[in-house]
Structure 1
Amino acid sequence: MRVLAAMSGGVDSAVAAARAVEAGHDVVGVHLALSRQPGTLRMGARGCCTIEDSMDARRAATHLGIPFYVWDFSERFQLDVVDDFVAEYAAGRTPNPCLRCNERIKFAALLEKALALGFDAVATGHYASILTDADGNRELHRAAAWAKDQSYVLGVLTAEQLAHAMFPLGATPSKAEVRAEAAARGLTVAQKPDSHDICFIPDGDTRGWLADRVGASEGPILDQAGERIGTHAGAAAFTVGQRKGLDLRIPSPDGRPRFVLEVRPSSNEVVVGPREALAVAELAGRRVSWAGIPPVDAEAGFACGVQVRAHGDPVPATAVLRGGELVVRPDVPLDGVAPGQSAVLYRGTRVLGQCTIDRTVSATLAAVD
């Protein structure tokens, strides 16, 4: 097969490309330039897609003996990932930019261009697996190394995209093994630190970054009764479930900490309350996609596991597709679920699909009903 290897400049994508070459595929490496003004150097383990990363990717491709190109996707990345991130926060939602990047850049824009150029598949260094069922349908599954599993941020992939995706690291039991293999292959990125946090906010100051783009003005922090108990410097910097960074002048009656329950950007208000008020009995969203063949019982309701964070654990749940909206009811209430997050559904290790959460139902209100 003709395989386009997406090479970020890190160890995972370098080893993934090496394995694709070793498997006998005709491989071409490509690095995505996602910023019009990329930094020269990474800031420790923060950020990615810098000039340094591009150079590391080129060195790895040269070492593997494969052609290498840099493709400018900066405009598409700005529109589909960065601008979306800002708009979601401005609307009081909590987005996942890595998931959006996979959905709109790596497995939409990149795959579209790869297929147009005659490639059969795009290979990445994600930790996930693709298996084929008895009828030949491709399924997305968790990686062998659950600690490194990235199937959550790949939950947006469709059946068509899975048909042209390749994850050579899926069966690898540990990151240590990947680094050891990179060293044995003579790849200079063998001990390069992993990138963390949001790649387009390399200094990690999300609050300051958002303030520059969304604006920040002082506003009230309210309790559940609507009483002002503190002041914030900008509502967009807060997310549901947050505890730190709250300037509360009036302590709670029982002395227990308070958490963000709601962000109201239109009125510049942040509502806080006790931890138990974060419990969610139901979540739902209309931006639904299936990772392969949809469950046959989607409209009748089906059992599944639901995961709402990249590094969270799945919780047993039931889900139903009703009027174009995917409604998920976890068996045990979930804490701190915010609109904008993605709910990814599993059946065992298989990813069934996902929805972007539009609304939630409080477990306290559900109990009353």
Structure 2
Amino acid sequence: MGQEMNKERVVVAMSGGVDSSLTAALLLDQGYDVVGITMRLSDENRDIAPDGRSCCSLSSVDDARHVADVLGVPHYVMDFTKSFEHAVIDYFFDEYLRGRTPNPCIACNRYIKFEGLLKKARELGASYIATGHYACIDRSEEDVYRLRKGLDLEKDQSYVLYHLNQKTLPHVLFPLGGFSKSETRRMAETYHLPVAHKAESQEICFVPRDDYKAYLLEKRPECARPGEIVDRTGNVLGMHEGVAFYTIGQRRGLGIAAPQPLYVTALDAVKNQVVVGGADEVHAREFIASDLTWTMWNGLDQERSVQAKIRYGKREAAARIIPCGPESIRVCFAEPQRAVTPGQSVVFYERDVVLGGGIIDEVID
């Protein structure tokens, strides 16, 4: 009995997928007192995803509960719908209406899955929270916690975790960081987990049928405000259906006949204009980023050479980051980058260590 009392408690965010299920199984094997929590985030997509590919679907809750039963650990469903609506869904709409492209998965990780869940975990007497993200955490000789890329670089998810810092990193576990996806599938079979071969979840869990345009039209009909499509000198080339329906770098669906391919290069919500240009105009070398967070520091106090990544799935590229105020920095790439998109996150690395990141605010022409 004494040994049981000495176990450290960990709350595992169980979405009903193979990664979070294996996370719970591994931690249980390592001697932790595991408590599974499924976060109820939104009702938008709960009954439209019968295959369970949405983490908000009813079948995913049932899958998580089933896995917890197999492992013999307690499982709870907790309601985070109000905080999710404010921090993720409202933000999602607001950014599109501002002519920016949001990243709801990063907002969810930052404010719900870590900040919100960590608070709940402490109420349950847990020392840690754990998720199935493919990333690693270690501790330097200087006693500094570091967020690092996952071993499988194709699956690495450190980009969406750049908000973690010295207050949160000591209380977070990523058991899958040292494995590949194929290895986790095999291990899930070994543990006889009923979700071992379940398909990956969709990217935006709360958008029905993954159709963000239809969702915007339903929830924010004011976004369907037609306007002009112009070139960078202001010549009108056509008409658009609403700035929110376009993204930087987009080529198809512009409805413009031109001698050369045209791409969306900027979105101006104030003027209600979509700006287009040639292939060379969709590249940029510099931009301003704000809403900064740093994994190991309180702030950036001098210019620094880094590797920077401007979207999930894109490789990092050499850049310099330069403080230009207490809450913003200038990011200067060595080579022009395609489709630098306001609203998206930029994340900074030094080799495989995440230094921090921020939100792209303004592209410098």
TM-score, length of structure 1 as denominator length: 0.93
1:270 to 274, 280, 294: 274
Deviation at 1:180, TM superposition (A): 1.1
Contact 2:232 2:277 survives alignment (8 Å)? yes
Cα distance in 2 between the residues matched to 1:159 and 1:193: 34
Q: Secondary structure at the match of 1:104?
A: helix
1:81 to 88, 98, 106: 88
Cα distance in 2 between the residues matched to 1:72 and 1:260: 39
Cα distance in 1 between the residues matched to 2:52 and 2:271: 37
2:235 counterpart residue number: 227
Contact 1:307 1:314 survives alignment (8 Å)? yes
Q: Deviations over 1:198-241 (max 9, x none)?
A: 11113121112112233213222112221221222211111111
Cα distance in 2 between the residues matched to 1:44 and 1:226: 48
Q: Secondary structure at the match of 1:136?
A: coil
Residues 226, 41 of structure 1: CA spacing in aligned structure 2 closer, same or farther, 3 A cutoff? closer
Deviation at 1:48, TM superposition (A): 2.4
One-letter code aligned to 1:143: G
Cα distance in 2 between the residues matched to 1:81 and 1:20: 29
Deviation at 1:127, TM superposition (A): 0.4
Deviation at 1:43, TM superposition (A): 5.4
1:208 counterpart residue number: 214
1:5 counterpart residue number: 12
2:338 counterpart residue number: 335
- Residues 1:134 and 2:137 are matched in the alignment: no
1:247 counterpart residue number: 255
Cα distance in 2 between the residues matched to 1:294 and 1:348: 20
One-letter code aligned to 2:264: V
Residues 346, 294 of structure 1: CA spacing in aligned structure 2 closer, same or farther, 3 A cutoff? farther
Cα distance in 1 between the residues matched to 2:44 and 2:244: 25
Q: Deviations over 1:55-93 (max 9, x none)?
A: 000001111110000000011101100100100110011
Q: Deviations over 1:262-320 (max 9, x none)?
A: 1122332111111211221212222110012358xx32211110001111100011112
- Residues 1:169 and 2:176 are matched in the alignment: yes
2:78 to 68, 71, 76: 71
1:317 counterpart residue number: 319
Q: Deviations over 1:176-201 (max 9, x none)?
A: 11111111211110111001231111
Residues 2, 46 of structure 1: CA spacing in aligned structure 2 closer, same or farther, 3 A cutoff? closer
Contact 2:226 2:242 survives alignment (8 Å)? yes
Cα distance in 2 between the residues matched to 1:293 and 1:266: 36
- Residues 1:57 and 2:59 are matched in the alignment: no
2:351 counterpart residue number: 348
Larger mean Cα displacement after TM superposition, 34-43 or 196-205: 34-43
Deviation at 1:358, TM superposition (A): 1.1
Contact 1:128 1:151 survives alignment (8 Å)? yes
1:121 to 103, 128, 131: 128
One-letter code aligned to 2:81: S
Residues 46, 241 of structure 1: CA spacing in aligned structure 2 closer, same or farther, 3 A cutoff? farther
Q: Deviations over 1:305-361 (max 9, x none)?
A: 000111110001111223221221111111111111111000000000001111111
1:287 to 263, 288, 291: 291
Contact 1:47 1:201 survives alignment (8 Å)? no
One-letter code aligned to 1:340: G
One-letter code aligned to 2:361: D
- Residues 1:217 and 2:225 are matched in the alignment: yes
Deviation at 1:117, TM superposition (A): 2.7
Cα distance in 2 between the residues matched to 1:265 and 1:119: 45
**Unaligned ranges ≥5, structure 2:** 1-7
Contact 1:43 1:202 survives alignment (8 Å)? no
One-letter code aligned to 2:242: G
Cα distance in 2 between the residues matched to 1:316 and 1:72: 42
Deviation at 1:107, TM superposition (A): 1.0
Q: Deviations over 1:147-185 (max 9, x none)?
A: 00000001111221111111000000x211111111121
How many correspondences in the alignment? 355
Identity of aligned residues (%): 38
Larger mean Cα displacement after TM superposition, 110-119 or 138-147: 110-119
Deviation at 1:137, TM superposition (A): 1.3
Contact 1:42 1:48 survives alignment (8 Å)? no
Contact 2:319 2:331 survives alignment (8 Å)? yes
Cα distance in 2 between the residues matched to 1:354 and 1:108: 17
Cα distance in 2 between the residues matched to 1:125 and 1:49: 16
One-letter code aligned to 1:59: H
1:357 to 347, 357, 360: 360
